[in-house]
Amino acid sequence: MAQQKAPRPKCLINHKERPDDCSHGGGLVIESAFVVSMIEDEEVEVVMYFQKYNGSWERKTYSRKGSGELMLDIASCDYTGNYFCFPYYKYLDNLKVPTGVEVETMHAKKGTSPRFRVSEMNRIDDCKGAQIVKGEVFTPNGEEVKITLFLEKKDGHWRKKDYLLVGSGSIYLDIEDCELTGKYKSKIQIMRAF
């Protein structure tokens, strides 16, 4: 009987945001990640690639034993918010970590157009309205984008809200209204490339 391989480890980013002190409004801050390992006390190596505004990809390597928090301390105004994460068992896996060129190819497959989606929405129970908490934005190269949200109201009309964002990542929308149905449409356009 063939021995079954343990599932690959996973790396989950706890929270990412933008630094306050970047003159162009972009950048990336990731304090830590959580590593999930099915093999206790086995060395897990995590290779991460971060896209820079000049188009290059910076590689960083981290490691820890087993599952738990992995301190990253990433804070840079040079990062667009796009990144890739490759966790593997350092001594057990035969994983070939992608090169920077392969990461560029993987990133190119995501497309050349920016995208937006609402990622967290809640119902307001007492009035049957909607709370739209945050969204996720993808920009191919960390461009500044304008997101226009059209929010459906219970009377059939639409409310419009505009947001500006630099780079890929979360955007806090902070919309709470008893008159909203929770249905939305969005438009995203590039305002400025770097």
pLDDT in tens, 24-69: 888 899 999 999 999 988 999 999 999 999 999 999 999 999 999 9
Listed residues 108, 132, 163: the one ending a domain: 108
User: Among 93, 108, 123, where does a domain finish?
Assistant: 108
In a domain, 5, yes or no: no
- Report the CATH number that the domain containing residue 122 is assigned in CATH: 2.60.40
The verdict on 61 and 76 lying in the same domain is yes
Mean pLDDT of 184-192: 94
- Same domain for 36 and 96, yes or no, is yes
Has residue 29 been placed in a domain?
yes
38 and 97 belong to one structural domain:
yes
**Token pair of 85, please?**
């994460």
What is the count of structural domains for the chain?
Answer: 2
Render pLDDT for 172-182 as a digit per residue (tens, 0 to 9). 999 999 999 99
Considering the domain architecture, whether residues 99 and 129 belong to the same structural domain is answered as no
141 and 158 both lie in a single domain: yes
Strand partners, 146: 164, 189
Of 90, 108, 126, the one marking the end of a domain is: 108
Give the domain range for residue 131: 115-192
- Residue 4 located in a structural domain: no
Closest residue by Cα to residue 18 from 154, 171, 177: 171
Q: Quick one: 18 and 47 in the same domain?
A: yes
Q: b/e for 38-53, b at 16 or more Cβ within 10 A?
A: eeeebebbbbbbbbbb
188 in Cβ contact with 137 (< 8 Å): yes
Instruction: Answer yes or no: do 20 and 83 share one domain.
Output: yes
Compute the distance between CA of residue 186 and CA of residue 150 in angstroms, rounded to an integer: 6
pLDDT digits (tens, 9 = 90+) for 103-162: 999 999 999 999 999 999 999 999 999 999 999 999 999 999 999 999 999 999 999 999
Q: With respect to residue 3, please indicate whether it lies within any of the assigned structural domains.
A: no
Q: What's the rounded mean pLDDT across residues 1-9?
A: 66
93 and 126 in a single domain? The answer is: no
